[in-house]
Amino acid sequence: MTERPTLRRYMTRHSALDGLDPNLIFLIEDIASACRVIGNSLRNAAFEGNHGLVGDTNVQGEDQKKLDVVADETFARICENSPRLAALVSEEREEATWLKEPEEGDYLLYYDPLDGSSNIEVGLSVGSIFSICQVEKDGDRTLLKKGRAQVAAGYAIYGPAMMLVLTLGHGVDGFTCEYGTGDFRLTHPSMTVPAKTREFAINASRYRYWQSPVRRYVDECIAGTEGPRGEAFNMRWTASMVAEVHRILIRGGVFLYPQDTENAAKGGRLRLLYEANPMGAIIEQAGGAASTGTMPILDLMPDDFHQRVGVILGSADEVNRVAEYHAQDRAAG
Ligand code: AFP
C-alpha cells in the first residue's frame, strides 16, 4: 500500500536529511493548522454570517470581505505563538506585526490569507499563500527581501479537496487534508511543471491594456494551427492565482497577469512579497519559470511591503518565450 506520511512525519524526515530547523517545522505546522481552520470557516460561512463585505476597504483599497478578515485573524491567532516567529506581513494589514524583538526570533511570515476571495460566494476555489524568510541577525528589522531569500513557501487550496503545497527548497510536495482525521498527508510527491504546454491563463478582458509582447504571445496562441505556433491552445481563467498555479503544477500551463497600461502606475495587479514570490519559488522548484516579463521574479528587490508586480509563470518554454518577446520589444525601442 502506498505510504502517505503526515506533514509532520515528512518534515521530521527532512529534518534528519537536511537538518531542517525544528522551529521551522513548528511554524509550518502552525500554518497548516491555520489553513485547516480557514477551510472550515469557508465551508461554514453561510451559517456563521461570514459571507459578504465588511463595509471597509483594506490596505490595497479593495472591498474587504468578512472572510478576508476571518482568514487574516486566523493566521495571526494561530501563528503568533510559534516559538521563533518574529514578525508577520499580511496582505490585509498596512504595517508589519512584530511579535518579538528580532533577536528573539528566527523567521518572518508573509501571507495572503485568502486569495481569490471574489470566488467565495460563487462556489469556486480559493486559497491561502505563505512565504517564510529568516530574520537578519544583529537585530536588523529588514523585512524587504528578494524572493531568493525564502526558506519555505507554499499555499493551501480550498477546492473539492483541501491541499497544502509546500517547498522547503528541495522540490515541491503536495499534501491532502484527510477528511475525518484532518491530517495533511503526502499525496503528490515531487510535483513538477512540464516545460511545454498548450494551455495559457490570462484575463482576456484586459486585452486593450496589454503591452505588445503580451498581445503578440496571446495572439499567436489564439491563431492556433494556422498561426506561427502551429498548435491549438486552450485557455483558462479562474480569478484565483492559487487555483491557476495548482492546475499548472498538475498539468502544466502558463499564467499571465502582466503589468499593463492600466495597472502600470501601481506596478501591476499581484503583490510581490506574499503572492508572486512564494508562487514563483514553488514554480521554479517544480522546474518551471517565473518572470516579471523583464526579469526573474525572485531576483526583484522589493521597496515596499505591498509592492505589486507583473507575473508570468509556469511551463518554462512558454515563460521564456514571453520574456524573449519583451526583450525583442525593448531592443526594437
Ligand atoms: P481577489 O483576492 O481580490 O479575488 O484577487 C485575486 C487575484 O489577486 C489573483 O488571485 C487572481 O489571479 C487575480 O486577482 C484575478 O484578477 P481579475 O479579477 O482581474 O480576474
> What does the pLDDT average to over 86-109?
96
315 Cβ contact partners less than 8 Å away, ≥ 6 residues apart = 193, 194, 195, 196, 197, 248, 252, 253, 254, 288, 289
User: Tens digits of per-residue pLDDT, 12-27?
Assistant: 887 766 788 999 999 9
User: Tens digits of per-residue pLDDT, 244-275?
Assistant: 999 999 999 999 999 999 999 999 999 999 99
Q: In this model, does residue 83 exceed pLDDT 80?
A: yes
Distance CA 235, CA 111 (A): 28
Angle at 226 between CA 222 and CA 231, to 5 degrees: 65
At 279 the three-state DSSP class reads: helix
Looking from the CA of 149 toward its CB, the CA atoms found within 13 Å total 17
Which has the minimum average pLDDT: 45-59, 81-95, 240-254? Answer: 45-59
Q: In this model, does residue 54 exceed pLDDT 90?
A: no
Q: Measured in angstroms, how far is the CA atom of residue 306 from the centroid of ligand 1? A: 15
Q: Measured in angstroms, how far is the CA atom of residue 239 from the centroid of ligand 1? A: 5
> What does the pLDDT average to over 161-174?
96
**Predicted local confidence at residue 286, as pLDDT:** 98
Global model pTM greater than 0.95: yes
**Predicted local confidence at residue 53, as pLDDT:** 86
Atom of ligand 1 nearest to the CA of 115: 2
Distance CA 167, CA 67 (A): 26
Residue-averaged pLDDT of the chain: 95
Which residues form the pocket of ligand 1, taking CB atoms under 6 Å from any ligand atom?
62, 115-118, 203, 239-241, 257, 269-270
Q: Measured in angstroms, how far is the CA atom of residue 117 from the centroid of ligand 1? A: 8
Q: In this model, does residue 173 exceed pLDDT 70?
A: yes
Q: Measured in angstroms, how far is the CA atom of residue 242 from the centroid of ligand 1? A: 10
**Predicted local confidence at residue 203, as pLDDT:** 98
Which has the minimum average pLDDT: 137-146, 163-172, 244-253, 299-308? Answer: 137-146
Distance CA 155, CA 130 (A): 6
> What does the pLDDT average to over 140-162?
97
Tell the residue nearest (CA) to atom 16 of ligand 1: 239
Tell the residue nearest (CA) to atom 12 of ligand 1: 241
Say which residue, 3 or 245, is predicted with more confidence.
Answer: 245
> Buried b vs exposed e over 93-119: b needs ≥16 C-beta within 10 Å?
beebeebeebeebbbbbbbbbbbbbeb
Q: Is 18 exposed, middle or buried (0-12, 13-18, 19+ CB in 10 A)?
A: exposed
Atom of ligand 1 nearest to the CA of 244: 12
- Kindly report, as residue ranges, where domains of CATH 3.40.190.80 are found in the chain: 199-331
- Kindly report, as residue ranges, where domains of CATH 3.30.540.10 are found in the chain: 7-188
> What does the pLDDT average to over 127-147?
94
**Predicted local confidence at residue 1, as pLDDT:** 67
Confidence of residue 174 (pLDDT cuts 50, 70, 90): very high
Say which residue, 306 or 16, is predicted with more confidence.
Answer: 306
**Predicted local confidence at residue 63, as pLDDT:** 79
Atom of ligand 1 nearest to the CA of 112: 2
Q: In this model, does residue 148 exceed pLDDT 90?
A: yes
Q: In this model, does residue 171 exceed pLDDT 70?
A: yes
State the CATH architecture for 7-188.
2-Layer Sandwich (3.30)
Task: Return the CATH fold of 199-331.
Answer: D-Maltodextrin-Binding Protein; domain 2 (3.40.190)
Over pLDDT 90: what percentage of the chain? 89
> What does the pLDDT average to over 198-223?
98
Cα of first residue to Cα of last residue in the chain, in angstroms, is: 60
244 Cβ contact partners less than 8 Å away, ≥ 6 residues apart = 201, 236, 237, 238, 253, 255
